């Protein structure tokens, strides 16, 4: 993890004082960074599950979880332990290897996509030059795992759910990639997530890509909901039609992996919306000061630890704002039909995203 430079130098000097090699320190630093990231992701998912239950209960005039901890805050953790202790059932006539490998192929790519998300200045596991496309490419593996799970279950409902997941992912990945390409073409000339955030910070609040690419923002948001298979786009696991889709035959921890993967994917999509369109860890107030905005740059300061913490809090607040919108959407809108879902992707979002890209390219040519 690229982290606070001064802090890392102090730790390196401490290891040198213990006569430990630099290679050993780098190995421990990588392991420590990965563990911290995994712990933070796990806590974020637990908070998201609790929020969804509470918000959905409020919308439906119910109480929601109350007894597992204060206000039911450890209800998600209790459910995880329950799934961990349940019996793991494998269909006798299913494909053993496909059935068992499917959940892992679904979860691992989503975890890897967190490695290119900057939670603050220099708070990123891997600052790749193609960070955003790495996310799109790695998440395109997820439908293969769903298809393997559905086929390996030897269940027609599961197989139909896997086929729907593959068709849905292909339909909405293309508009998603075109929206990202528009941002890279016009604003930052880079696919690095850190560069995209820094390009927005030059002009404060009005420099956010939300104002420069409003059409692309709406297309990206809708496509990301479809990629996460959230209502009204959860056709691969429609209970009324497919019982539970690709996870019909799963139980115990394997079912829990599918459940966790859906929330992991939702959280990472909200974080990417924050990075691509809302300025990441930068925060500014419009119409204040002589330059029409007052920006607090938390990357520079006497107390770098406090600055880093504040930057992380800003990223999480922006991300959870869109998580709230997605939760409200799930418990408000009805599920669409499969033909309507594909029509929306191919006949509406794809032309809009392509037109937005052509418009962006035309402006770039005119400016040059």
Give the span between the Cα atoms of 342 and 350, in whole angstroms. 11
- CA geometry: angle 192, 194, 196, nearest 5 deg: 70
pLDDT at 290: 39
Enter the pTM of the model.
0.86
pLDDT at 21: 67
Ranges of each domain in the chain: 1-85, 99-288+299-367
pLDDT at 70: 84
Phi/psi for 323 (5° steps) reads -65, -40
Element (H, E) at 311: helix 304-330
Give the span between the Cα atoms of 146 and 165, in whole angstroms. 7
pLDDT at 7: 55
pLDDT at 164: 87
pLDDT in tens, the chain (368 residues): 544 445 556 666 666 666 666 677 777 778 888 888 888 888 888 889 888 888 888 888 888 888 888 888 888 888 888 888 888 888 888 888 888 898 889 899 998 999 899 887 778 888 888 888 899 888 888 888 888 888 888 888 888 888 888 888 888 989 999 999 888 887 656 788 888 888 887 777 777 888 888 999 999 999 998 888 887 888 877 777 777 778 888 888 888 888 888 889 999 999 999 999 988 888 776 655 434 333 444 444 445 677 778 888 888 999 999 999 988 888 888 888 888 888 998 999 999 999 999 988 888 778 76
- The residue assigned the tokens 């032309």 is 351
Query: How many other C-beta atoms are found inside a 10 Å radius of the C-beta of residue 59?
Result: 13
pLDDT at 352: 93
- CA geometry: angle 2, 8, 10, nearest 5 deg: 170
Give the span between the Cα atoms of 50 and 45, in whole angstroms. 9
pLDDT at 228: 85
pLDDT at 17: 64
Query: How many other C-beta atoms are found inside a 10 Å radius of the C-beta of residue 232?
Result: 18
The residue among 329, 339, 344 whose CA lies nearest residue 164 is 339
Burial class of residue 346 (count of CB atoms within 10 Å of its CB; 0-12, 13-18, 19+): middle
pLDDT at 349: 92
The residue among 215, 362, 345, 197 whose CA lies nearest residue 278 is 197
C-beta of residue 314 within 8 angstroms of C-beta of residue 218: no
- The residue assigned the tokens 């990123």 is 124
pLDDT at 65: 85
pLDDT at 311: 81
pLDDT at 364: 78
């Amino acid at each position: 993890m690229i982290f606070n430079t001064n802090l890392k130098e102090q730790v390196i000097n401490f290891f040198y004082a213990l006569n430990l090699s630099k290679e050993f320190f780098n190995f421990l630093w990588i392991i420590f960074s990965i563990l911290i990231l995994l712990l933070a992701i796990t806590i974020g998912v637990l908070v998201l599950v609790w929020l969804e239950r509470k918000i959905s209960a409020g919308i439906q005039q119910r109480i929601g979880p109350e007894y597992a901890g204060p206000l039911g805050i450890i209800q998600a953790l209790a459910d995880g332990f329950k799934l961990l202790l349940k019996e793991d059932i494998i269909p006798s006539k299913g494909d053993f290897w496909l059935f068992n490998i499917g959940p892992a192929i679904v979860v691992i790519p989503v975890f890897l996509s967190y490695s290119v998300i900057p939670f603050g200045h220099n708070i990123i596991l891997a600052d790749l030059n193609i960070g955003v496309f790495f996310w799109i490419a790695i998440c395109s593996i997820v439908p293969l795992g769903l298809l393997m799970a559905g086929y390996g279950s030897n269940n027609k409902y599961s197989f139909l759910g896997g086929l729907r997941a593959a068709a849905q992912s292909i339909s909405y990945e293309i508009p998603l990639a075109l929206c990202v390409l528009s941002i890279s073409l016009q604003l930052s000339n880079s696919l690095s997530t850190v560069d995209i955030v820094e390009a927005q910070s030059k002009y404060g609040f009005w420099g956010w890509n939300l104002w420069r690419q409003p059409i692309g923002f709406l297309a990206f948001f809708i496509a990301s909901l479809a990629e996460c298979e959230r209502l009204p786009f959860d056709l691969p696991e429609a209970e009324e039609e497919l019982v539970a889709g690709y996870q019909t035959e799963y139980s115990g921890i394997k079912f829990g992996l599918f459940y966790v993967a859906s929330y992991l994917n939702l959280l990472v999509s909200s974080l990417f919306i924050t990075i691509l369109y809302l300025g990441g860890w930068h925060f500014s107030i419009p119409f204040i000061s002589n330059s029409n905005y007052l920006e607090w740059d938390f990357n520079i300061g006497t107390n770098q630890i406090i600055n880093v913490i504040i930057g992380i809090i800003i990223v999480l607040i922006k991300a959870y704002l869109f998580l709230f919108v997605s939760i409200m959407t799930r418990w408000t809108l009805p599920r669409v039909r499969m033909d309507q879902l594909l029509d929306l992707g191919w006949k509406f979002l794809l032309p809009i995203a392509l037109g937005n890209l052509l418009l962006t390219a035309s402006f770039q040519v005119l400016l040059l």
